[in-house]
Amino acid sequence: MQINASFKGFPGHHGPVDLAHIGDQNWHILKGHLPFPLAVIKASAIAHNLKWMQDFCSKRKLDIAPHGKTTMSPELYKMQIDAGAWGISFATVFQAGLGIRNHVKRIIIANQVFQASDLDALSHLLETYSDVRVFFLVDSLAQLKQIETWRASSSSQQAFSVLIELGIDGKRTGCRDHETAMQLAREIKATQGLLLAGIECYEGALATCHHEHDQAAVAALMQRVQNLALACEKEDLFQCAEVLITAGGSAIFDLVAAHLQPQLSRPARGILRSGCYLTHDHVEYRKMLRCVGERLKLAETLKPALEVISSVQSCPEPGLALLSMGKRDVSYDMDLPVPIWQAALGDAAVSSVPAHWEIKALNDQHAYLHFNPQSPASEHPAVGQIIGSGISHPCTTFDKWRWMPIINDDYVVTSGISIHF
């Protein structure tokens, strides 16, 4: 794949470069070799996070199928699988197609599949890539009816492996009670072309970072999963050699991890689906991982790897600087970005920013950096200065870019990734 001047963050005067040769260009971020704004990934933090999460799972005899919607990057999927991931999770058939075409062999679509066009596409993918296994979620008889209607008019003979989703009152999808889920399980077994392969839930909506609340809420949810799995086994409703039990967002995954291996008579595989762990962040998930660290008594957890770099383009009044990034470049759905380092063009290294610097607003292409005008002049931003910002919620930063350079700790570009939203 070639990266060229049609990609934001690529130098407009430079000819196309094959993604595999990005690291050969000798680009240095602090020397201005790439235009700002620019989203970058720190190689050392990625390597740490890959190992940390794989170790976390291995110690608990769990697998991980990290959520690929976070990055939509085949190069990062490969890193995760090479580090030991069982597979990759996705939210849609479109996203799953990206994974399948890029050599992902096991996929969980952690969502309901029911539209005829999606069933056509999934059937085609499974027929074309016969060595791929895909599992998707079901949570209602109405969804089964949609699938049966599609099958009645389709020539496809493709069978689908499905997981029953258990949900939480007032939250997202999923069966709300045991009897509804059991009725659905019985109907799946009676439906031609559907194979019940396990149970799924998503606990992330319960996260508050209050230990007692989170532990009790997750324990109750996972007890429902246990009860459903045992009941399905008792009635011989599973149609698979190995039952999948899967949960795990990126906030309180440690709490579900303790419950992902119900005691069944047949083999069962517990699978986490955390996605944001790979790049982590500087605000929301950093807060959540502090809580994970407290519960597990860990000195170190994940490291933030994703930064968005901009430059000061104007200081129009005392106490205000405008940065050359905005809503088109950085996430803002959970928290605004936070300035974390500064440098002058050509500096050999970055330095921390004053504590009084704060980004208080974003427009499409501008960030409003406020600072104390009474502070020493050396603590004031200056036009042309380079500012590195941490983000909150990596998913909605990745979706604003088509590529990102991977950098070393000296801000030298070592490689790159493609992004396919």
DSSP assignment of 71-138 equals T--HHHHHHHHHTT-S-EEESSHHHHHHHHHTT--EEEEEEE---HHHHHHHHHHHHHSTT-EEEEEE
Q: What percentage of residues in the chain have a pLDDT greater than 70?
A: 100
In a domain, 413, yes or no: yes
296 belongs to a structural domain? no
Number of structural domains in the chain? 2
Q: Specify whether the CB–CB gap between 42 and 305 falls below 8 A.
A: yes
In angstroms, the CA 224 to CA 205 distance is: 16
pLDDT in tens, 188-225: 999 999 999 999 999 999 999 999 999 999 999 999 99
Cα(192)–Cα(155) distance, integer angstroms: 14
Closest residue by Cα to residue 267 from 235, 223, 233: 233
288-315: burial string, b at 16+ Cβ within 10 Å, e else: bbebbeeeeeeeebbbbbbbbbbbbbeb
Residues 6+ away with beta carbon under 8 Å from 356: 371, 372, 375, 379
Mean pLDDT of 301-322: 98
pLDDT score, position 132: 98
In 3D space, the residue among 272, 360, 276, 285 whose CA is nearest the CA of residue 323 turns out to be 360
Q: Is residue 50 part of a domain?
A: no
Cα 205 from Cα 284, distance rounded (Å): 14
Domain shared by 270 and 145, yes or no:
yes
Residues 256 and 318 reside in one and the same domain: no
Contact between 98 and 72 under an 8 Å Cβ cutoff? The reply is yes
* pLDDT tens per residue across span 111-147: 999 999 999 999 999 999 999 999 999 999 999 999 9
Q: Structure pTM?
A: 0.97
Tokens representing residue 262 in the block: 């119900």
Looking at the fold, whether 262 and 314 belong to one and the same domain comes out as no
The secondary structure element, H or E, covering residue 369 is: strand 367-370
Please give the structure tokens belonging to residue 9.
């963050």
Instruction: Give me the residue label for tokens 């999934």.
Output: 122
Domain residue limits at 128:
66-276
Q: What is the CATH number of the domain that holds 346?
A: 2.40.37.20
- Taking residue 157's Cβ as centre, other Cβ atoms within 10 Å add up to 10
Q: Measure Cα distances from 79 to 26, 64, 82, 313, 380 in Å.
A: 23, 13, 5, 36, 40
Residue 57 resides in a domain: no
Q: Within a domain: residue 337?
A: yes
pLDDT tens digit sequence for 238-249: 999 999 999 989
* DSSP of 322-342: EES--TTTS--SSS--EEEEE
pLDDT at 251 over 90: yes
Instruction: From residue 145, give the alpha-carbon distance in Å to each of 116, 140, 142, 325.
Output: 12, 9, 5, 47
What's the CA gap between 101 and 161, in Å, rounded? 20
CA 86 to chain centre: 16
Tokens of 394: 């990596």
Quick check: 261 pLDDT over 90?
Answer: no
Does residue 356 lie within any of the structural domains?
yes
pLDDT above 90 for 176: yes
Asked if 92 and 19 sit in the same domain, the reply is no
Q: Which residues contact 27 (CB under 8 A, 6 or more apart)?
A: 33, 34, 405, 412, 413
pLDDT digits (tens, 9 = 90+) for 68-85: 999 999 999 999 999 999
pLDDT of 263: 87
At residue 291, the pLDDT reads 96
Do 267 and 360 reside in the same domain of the chain? no
DSSP conformation letters of 128-141: HSTT-EEEEEE--H
- Hey, which residues does 162 pair with through a beta bridge? 136, 196
Range 277-296 average pLDDT: 96
Based on the fold, state whether residues 100 and 191 are members of the same structural domain: yes
**What distance in Å separates the CA atoms of residue 148 and residue 156, rounded to the nearest whole number?**
12
Q: What does the alpha-carbon distance between residue 54 and residue 316 come to, in Å, rounded to a whole number?
A: 48
Mean pLDDT of 397-416: 98
Are both 150 and 237 inside the same structural domain? yes
Tell whether 243 and 316 lie within a shared domain.
no
Residue 316 and residue 171 share a domain: no
Say yes or no: 31 and 73 in one domain.
no
- How far apart are the C-alpha atoms of 107 and 375, rounded to whole Å? 53
> Residue 262 — pLDDT band, cuts 50, 70, 90?
confident
Rg (CA), the chain: 23
Residue partners of 222: CB distance under 8 A and separation at least 6? 201, 203, 247, 256, 258, 259, 260
Residue 18 lies in a domain: yes
Residue labelled with tokens 């899967």: 246
